[in-house]
Amino acid sequence: MSADLPAWPDGKRVDVKAVEFAIAAQGVRKNYAGAAEGAGLNGFDLQVPVGTVCGLLGPNGAGKTTAIRILTTLLRPDSGRASVAGFDVRAQPRQVRERIGLVGQYAAVDEILTGRQNLVMFARLSHFSSAGAKRRADELLERFSLADTGKKPVGKYSGGMRRRLDLAASLIVAPPVLFVDEPTTGLDPAGRREVWAAIRDLVGSGTTVLLTTQYLEEADRLADRISMLRAGRVVTEGTPEELKSAIGGDWLDIVLADAEDVAATEVIAGRIASGEVRVDGEARRVSVPVAERTRALVTMATALGDAGVEPVDITLRRPTLDEVFLHLMGEQTPTGEETVIDHQTLTGERAVIDDRAATDDRAGEPPGGGDPAANRPASAGPATGTEATV
Amino acid sequence: MSTTTPMTPMSAAHHTLPTGSPLSRFGWTLADAWTITLRDLNHWVLRPGTVIVGWVFPVMIVLMFGGLFGGAIGVPGGGGYFEFLMPGMFAMTMLFGLETTMMAVTTDAARGVTDRFRSMPMSASAVVLGRCVADMLNSVVGLVIMIGTGLLLGWRWEGGSAAAPAAVGLLLLLRFALLWVGIFVGLIAGGPEVVTSVQILVWPVGFLSSVFVDPATMPGWLGAIAQWNPLSTTATAARQLFGNPGWGGESWIAQNATLMAVVWPLLLIAIFLPLSARGFRRLGG
C-alpha cells in the first residue's frame, strides 16, 4: 500500500462541482419514532472543505451514524439542508450517490463470496464492463494488500481484512467524498493500524473524508478538523490542536508506585493546580492542570520529595482529546454522569468514551430526582455557552 | 450517453455515469438485477451444502411421511398415499422457499449490504428483481427434484398434456406470491435470529392444510381453515390438474380450488408487494 502506486489507473471519476465544501449541512433535524432505532439529530451543522478529513466525534447515541445515513441519502432528514459534492441529498440523491463511497459500521460485504467476487460484483453494479470490473477488483485487492487472500471467502477473513475489503468496495469508482462510519470499532490494535494506514493513503489521493469515531486517538491521528457531537448537534469544532488549546494549559501526570501516596499527592497537586485535579485510583495516577510548565514541574517534584513520596513517573504533557471531550461533555452533564465517563476514559487502555454506561446511570436515577440538569433538553440552556468558536 | 465503460485513463478522468433515458435506465436495471442474481448463484457454488439441504429436505419429508405414516393414512377415493402426498409436497416445497427469501433479505439488511446497494447509483428495484430471479430459480430446481423423486416413487400425472404444465405454473405462482411475503418479513424482522423463530411457523401453516391429510378428517372448524389455506387450494388444484386423488366435498372452496389457486397468490402479491416496497422506502426513514 505504498503512496507511489499509480493512483486510479482504471478508475472512473465523475465530474465534481466546483464547491468550497464537499459536505455542508445546516440545521438538519431527524427524530425517530422509536428510541431504539438510533439517536436523532437536533440542528446538526457541518462544513467540510474539499480535500480534508473531518472527524465526527461523539459518544454512542450522539447521532453520528444518523448524520452519516442522512448525508449518504440512506435516510431522509425531517428538516434542514444538506449537500454533498454540491448536490442536495434530498432533491438529488442519485447525483450524490454517484459521488460518494460509504464504509458503514459493519463491513457491508458478502460473507459467502470471495473478496474478489465481492469487488467484481460491486464494480459491475457501478457499471464497469465485465473485463473492467475484474481489472478494477485486482487493482483494489493489490492496493489494500488483499491480493493473496482475494480467492478466499470473506467469512474466513480477519476483522482488519474485512474492513479493508469494505474500504476497497467503497472506492471502486474513486469517489470524491468518502464516508467512514466507525472504521475500527471492534478491531484489534493490528487491524486498527491497517485501517488507519489505508485511510491515510486515500487522503493522499485527494478524497474528502468524513470519519465518525468514538476513539479520540483515531480522530487525533486521522482528522484535519474535528467536530464534537453531542445529543444530535455539533458542540465544538476545530483542529485537534485548537481543541486542545481551547481548554487551557498543560497537564502534569504523576504516576505513583504506592496507592497510599495518592491522597498526599492530590493535596500537594491542589496547591499548584490551575484547575480541577483528576485522580485515577486504579492506575495510581494524579493529573494536574498547570499554568506555568517548568515552575509547576519543579515545585511538584520538590514537594513530593519533601513529603517522601516516590513517583514512578512525572510527565508534563499537552492535554489529550480525552480531556477536551470530558471538559465539553462534563459541562453539560450532571455531575454523577461525568464521574462515570471520567473513570472509564482514564482507566481504559485506549481513549474510549462510551456513554452507554452514563445513559444507564441516568436511567437508574429516581424519576424527577435531585438534579434538574438531568431533565434539561440538551439543546437548551447552558449548552450554547460551550459553543466557543476556537 | 455512454453505456459501455472504456477503461482508458483519459476517459476515466471525466467519466459520467449513465443517468439518461428511461430505456437505458431500464437496461441497467436488468443488468444490475442479473448481477444480483449471479451473486446468489455464486453462493450455490461456494456453499453448496446450504442449497442442497434446501433441495433434499422436502425429499426427506416425502420419504418420512410416505414411508412411515403413509400406511396409516387413508386417502380419499382410495388411491395410494404417495399419489395424494406428492402434489401437496410440491406446494409445501414452495412454502419452504419462503425461508430462503426471508433469510437472504434479513441477512443483507442486518449486515449493511442492503445499505451499500442503496448508497450506490444503481436501480433500487434491481435488488428486489435479482432476489426474485435467484429465488425462483432455486425453487424451480427444488420442484424439478421433487417431481423426479415422485416419479421414482411411482407417482404419475394422469392429466392431459396442458394440465401438468398448468399445475406447475400454479405452484410457481404460489412461490412468486410467497417471495413478497418473504421480502416483507425479512425487511421488518431486523435480524436472522428473528427469522429463525418465524421459520418455525412454516410448520403449523403446512400441517393446517390439505398437504398431508384430507381436511375432512379434522374437526369441522379446523378443517374449514385448512381448506381455505392458500397452500391447500394450490395443492388441491395441482392434484386435480395432475389427475391425482384428492379430497372432495360439497364446500365452495372444494369446488373452486383451481380458481382460488390463482386468486390467493394474486391477493398475497397485491398485499405484500406494496408492503415490501414500502418496507424498502422505510429503510430511508
Q: pLDDT averaged over chain A?
A: 77
**Predicted local distance difference test score (pLDDT) of residue B21:** 65
Nearest-neighbour CA in chain A from B223: distance (Å): 41
Angle at CA A18, nearest 5°, toward A15 and A23? 95
Residues 370-389 of A with CB under 8 A from B: none
Window A:142-181, CB contacts with B under 8 Å: 153, 169, 173
Residue A141's pLDDT is what?
94
Contact B12 A11 (CB under 8 A): yes
Paired strand residues for A254: A286, A314
In this complex, do B13 and A135 lie within 8 Å of one another by their Cβ atoms?
A: no
**For A225-242, what is the mean pLDDT?**
89
Q: Return the amino acid letter for B149.
A: T
pLDDT-based confidence at residue A116 (cuts at 50, 70, 90): very high
pLDDT at A82: 95
- B112 and A107 within 8 Å at the Cβ level: the answer is yes
Mutate to test the interface with B, among A71, A125, A156 (most CBs of B within 10 A): A125
Smallest CA-to-CA distance from A152 within A119, A113, A107, A106 is with A113
Q: How far apart are CA B54 and CA B33, in angstroms?
A: 23
CB contact under 8 A, A129 and B5: yes
Q: Does B30 touch chain A (CB under 8 A)?
A: no
Q: How far apart are CA A144 and CA B195, in angstroms?
A: 35
- Contact of A108 with chain B, judged by CB distance below 8 Å, is answered with yes
Pick the residue from chain B with its C-alpha nearest to A6.
B9
- The answer to whether A41 contacts chain B (CB < 8 Å) is no
> Tens digit of pLDDT for each residue in A130-163?
999 999 999 999 988 899 999 999 999 988 899 8
Contact A19, A86 (CB under 8 A): yes
A330 or B177, which is more confident?
B177
**What number does CATH give the domain A21-243?**
3.40.50.300
Residue A350: Cβ within 10 Å count: 12
CB A37 within 8 A of CB A73: no
Provide the pLDDT for residue B56. Answer: 96
The closest CB to that of A127, out of B17, B38, B117, belongs to: B17
User: Which residues, 6+ apart, have CB-to-CB distance to A151 below 8 Å?
Assistant: A114, A115, A116
Give the Cα separation of B204 and B92 in Å (integer). Answer: 12
Bigger pLDDT: A341 or B169? Answer: B169
Q: Cβ separation of A125 and B120 shorter than 8 Å?
A: yes
Stronger pLDDT, A94 or B268, i.e. the higher one: B268
Cβ partners under 8 Å of residue B209, min gap 6: B88, B91, B215, B226, B229, B231, B232, B235
Q: Do B190 and B80 form a contact (C-beta atoms < 8 A)?
A: no
User: Closest by alpha carbon to A358, among A382, A385, A386, A325?
Assistant: A325
SS3 of chain B: helix, strand, coil, percent, to 5: 80, 0, 20
Looking at residue B216, the DSSP 8-state letter turns out to be: G
Q: What is the ipTM of this complex?
A: 0.85
Residue showing cell 428486489: B128
CB atoms within 10 A of CB A378: 15
- Do B16 and B37 form a contact (C-beta atoms < 8 A)? no
CA-based nearest residue in chain A for residue B119: A97
Contact B35 A8 (CB under 8 A): no
The C-alpha cell that represents B53 in the structure block: 439441504
Q: Does residue A138 sit at the B interface (CB-CB below 8 Å)?
A: no
Contact B120 A94 (CB under 8 A): no
Asked if B46 and A113 come within 8 Å (Cβ–Cβ), the reply is yes
* Identity of the residue in B42, B113, B285 whose CB atom sits nearest the CB atom of A76: B285
Local confidence band at A359 (pLDDT 50, 70, 90 cut-offs): very low
For residue A154, what is the nearest residue in chain B, using CA coordinates?
B46
Q: What averages of pLDDT result for each successive group of 10 residues across chain B (285 residues)?
A: 32 39 81 95 95 96 89 78 93 95 93 89 88 97 96 86 92 97 92 86 90 89 92 94 82 88 96 90 72
- In this prediction the pTM is 0.74
Tell me: the pLDDT tens digits for A166-212?
Answer: 989 988 888 899 999 888 877 788 888 888 888 887 787 778 999 99
Are the C-beta atoms of A108 and A180 separated by less than 8 Å?
no
- Give the distance from residue B132's alpha carbon to the nearest chain A alpha carbon, in angstroms: 17
Check B17 against A14: CB less than 8 A apart.
Answer: yes
**Residue whose C-alpha cell reads 430459480 in the numeric block:** B137
Cβ distance B119 to A74 less than 8 Å, yes or no, reads: yes
Q: Is A98 on the interface with B (CB under 8 A)?
A: yes
Give the Cβ contact number of residue B46 at 10 Å. Answer: 16
- A242 to chain B, minimum CA–CA distance in Å? 34
Query: Per-residue b/e over A85-109, b at no fewer than 16 CB within 10 Å?
Result: bbbebeebbebbbbbbbbbbbbbbb
Beta bridge partners of A5: none
Long-range contacts, stretch B27-32, CB < 8 angstroms, 24+ apart: B27/B3, B28/A127, B28/B122, B28/B123, B28/B126, B29/B123, B29/B125, B29/B126, B29/B129, B30/B126, B30/B129, B31/A124, B31/A127, B31/B126, B32/A124, B32/A125, B32/B122, B32/B123, B32/B126, B32/B127, B32/B130
Q: Which residue has the cell 478529513?
A: A53
Amino acid at B54: G
Residue A330's pLDDT band, with cuts at 50, 70 and 90, is: low
- Helix, coil or strand: residue A290: strand
Give the architecture-level CATH label for domain A249-317.
Answer: 2-Layer Sandwich (3.30)
Residue A325 — pLDDT band, cuts 50, 70, 90? confident
Selecting from A94, A105, A113 the residue whose C-beta is nearest the C-beta of B19 gives A94
Q: Taking a C-beta distance cutoff of 8 angstroms, is the pair A326, A342 a contact?
A: yes
CA distance B144 to chain A (A): 26
Q: How far is A329 from B183, CA to CA, in rounded Å?
A: 43
Rounded to the nearest 5 degrees, what angle is found at the Cα of A171, between the Cα atoms of A208 and A66? 60
Q: How many helices (H) and strands (E) does chain B have?
A: 13, 0
Residue of A15, A71, A73, A127 to mutate, interface with B, max B Cβ within 10 Å: A127
**Residue-level pLDDT at B190:** 80
CB contact under 8 A, B119 and A112: no
The contacts of residue A239 (CB under 8 Å, 6+ apart) are: A224, A225, A226
Strands across the sheet containing A53-57: A100-103, A177-181, A208-213, A53-57, A225-230, A233-238
Highest-confidence segment of A95-99, A358-362, B141-145? B141-145
Mark yes or no for CB contact A13/B14 under 8 Å. yes
Task: Tell me the per-residue pLDDT of A251-266, one tens digit each, with 9 for 90 and over.
Answer: 888 999 888 888 889 8
Among chain A residues, the shortest Cα distance to B4 is held by A129
- Nearest of B182, B186, B249, B174 to residue B215 by alpha carbon: B249
Asked if residue A380 has pLDDT above 50, the reply is: no
Q: Which helix (H) or strand (E) holds B57?
A: helix B48-63
- A317 and B CB contact within 8 Å: no
CB contact under 8 A, A113 and B5: no
- Which among B14, B18, B116 has CB closest to A104? B116
Measured between beta carbons, the chain B residues lying within 8 angstroms of A13 are 12-15
What are the sequence ranges of the domains in chain A? 21-243, 249-317
Q: Is the pLDDT of residue A21 over 70?
A: yes
